[in-house]
Structure 1
Amino acid sequence: MRLLEYISVLKKTKLFKNFSDSDIIALFNENNYKIKDYPKRATIYLQNQECKSFDMILKGTVIVKTIDENGKVLTVSEFKTGDTIGGNLLFADCNNYPMTIEAKTETTLLHMDKELVLRFCQMDMNFSSELLRAISNKILIIGTKLKSITMKTIRQQIIEFLANQYYIQNTPEIKLNMSKKEWAEKLGVQRPSLSRELSKMKKEGLIDYDRKTIFIKDLDMIKNYLNY
């Protein structure tokens, strides 16, 4: 029973914290769940694909992205070990994925069917509460991301990113933990558009950069944003 390998992962989450090992083993059977491995960059769910299970990430990282008719990719969010997918869709009347789910790294998912989820909800109020919290958080993440994309220019989004990283890294020399392509997808723009705006900011003396680092030359730009 492969589930035994991951009971410790389940019990570290808020959803399953009140369940004993024996409770979990008793509720799971070969007909109500699957554990499946996905290689890096594998498509887990296509946009408009029907949601048939509530999924928990047992290992790895997945990204939620959408591609418009012009081929522009927007990375809406990413989720890691212990996070869940599909809770906001499984019980909906229209339960098709509005975006594509992709494995950012080698990933292992636990797929639980609807009846199993309902049994956990009936057994434990905490499970129900945490499920609702997860659903609410994902709706908020998507809404906030889309609002950010539609209301801000590319430069405003770049400055917002640099301001956040300046606060986190506590230095004007910002180390990038992603490629320019990944950054562009997070901003919801084409990579050439991001590169053009960075080039403009460099010519204006606001920043300097190489492949892995951006150096903030005009700290007033960041301080003005943080004080906005």
Structure 2
Amino acid sequence: MYEVYINAVRGNSLFKGIKDNDLLSLLECTRPEVISFQKGETVIMSGEKLKGIGIVVSGGVDVIKETAGGDRYIFAKLGRGAVFAEAAAFLNPSIAPVTVASAGKSEIMFLPAERVIFSCEKSCNFHSIMIRNILEILSNKAMLLNKKIEYLTIKSMRGRISAYLLNIYNKSKKTSFKIPYSKSDLADYLGVTRPSMSRELGRMRDEGIINFNGRDFEIIDLNRLAGSVKY
């Protein structure tokens, strides 16, 4: 039954390190539900109970956030193999914090959280691998949240941008790199507006501190960039 989905879910963060034959056994053990959606259809609605961890089997979805004023904007676009609601699925009650809509024709696999955290009677090794993967995913999300809080304690917009770029530099030790976010997503992550951030990035480029093209960035003056970070 689940053989047709192996290619779509193989290699994503949830099933990392699990061989194909074990992955098939795992899906048969956890018995996820696969649902088809048309473009614009709601996959999960903010405030509603979740069916489980979502995995995009085919097509893609838009993760949508709503502001206090009722405005809606796309927070992220997820394609085939992507995982979503992996943290909220384990809450009690498991309520969706965001709305997810189908970006086109799509198939979504919902992996019940209770069948993930409780091993079957066989206590299969690959089930334990999946649980470790989930813990790693949740730990990474917690670290990202802590880093975001750190950025928000910086008063100036330039300081937040600089701290973000310096963090990537410190990990790679390379002055040229590609950031994982679009400009809109980066602005949201840093708690600033996109137009203001774009203007500030332009000023930093004009001053010879950085250069950029799309998601590709280059740090020109590392000392001046570091000097912009003031808490």
SS in 1 for 2:48: coil
Question: What is the match of residue 99 of structure 1?
Answer: 98
Determine helix, strand or coil for the equivalent of 1:160: helix
Whole-Å separation in 2 of the counterparts to 1:19 and 1:64: 31
After TM superposition, list the pairs within 5 Å mapping 1:1-228 onto structure 2. Answer: 1=1, 3-8=2-7, 10=9, 12=11, 13-14=15-16, 16-17=18-19, 20=22, 23-24=25-26, 26-27=28-29, 33-36=33-36, 44-58=43-57, 66-69=65-68, 71=71, 75=75, 84-101=83-100, 108-114=107-113, 116-117=115-116, 120-124=119-123, 126=125, 127-128=127-128, 129-130=131-132, 133-134=135-136, 136-137=138-139, 140-141=142-143, 143-152=145-154, 153-164=156-167, 166=169, 168=172, 170-171=174-175, 179-202=182-205, 204-208=207-211, 214=217, 216-222=219-225
Residues 138, 213 of structure 1: alpha-carbon distance in 2 compared, 3 angstrom cutoff: closer
Question: 1:205 and 1:21 mapped to 2: Cα distance?
Answer: 50
Q: Percent identity?
A: 22
Change beyond 3 A, Cα 1:17–1:218: same
Q: Deviations over 1:123-157 (max 9, x none)?
A: 43642532651563265146325413432342223
Displacement of 1:200: 3.8
Q: CA RMSD in A?
A: 4.6
Please tell me the residue identity of whatever aligns with 2:98: M
Q: What runs of 5+ residues in structure 1 fail to find an aligned partner? A: none
**Structure-2 separation of matches of 1:186 and 1:68:** 14
- Change beyond 3 A, Cα 1:91–1:169: closer
Question: 3-state DSSP class of the match of 1:170?
Answer: coil
| Contact 2:151-2:163 within 8 A present in 1 as well | no
After superposition, what is the alpha-carbon deviation per residue over 1:88-132, rounded to whole angstroms, capped at 9, x for unaligned? 333432321223446789865311335644665554364253265
Alignment-mate amino acid for residue 6 of structure 1: Y
User: Residues 73 and 188 of structure 1 are in contact (CA less than 8 Å); yes or no, is this contact kept in structure 2?
Assistant: no
Structure 2-normalised TM-score? Answer: 0.63
Distance 1:28 1:213 in 2: 41
CA distance in 2, matches of 1:22, 1:72: 38
Deviation at 1:190, TM superposition (A): 1.5
- Residues 104 and 9 (structure 1), Cα distance of their counterparts in 2 relative to 1, 3 Å cut: same
Answer yes or no: is the 8 Å Cα contact 1:15–1:130 preserved in 2: no
The 3-state SS of whatever aligns with 2:88 is coil
Shift of 1:179: 4.5
- 1:47 partner SS: coil
Q: Secondary structure at the match of 1:90?
A: helix
TM-score by length of 1: 0.63
Maintained 8 Å contact 1:206/1:217: yes
Kindly tell me the number of residue pairs found equivalent between the two proteins: 220
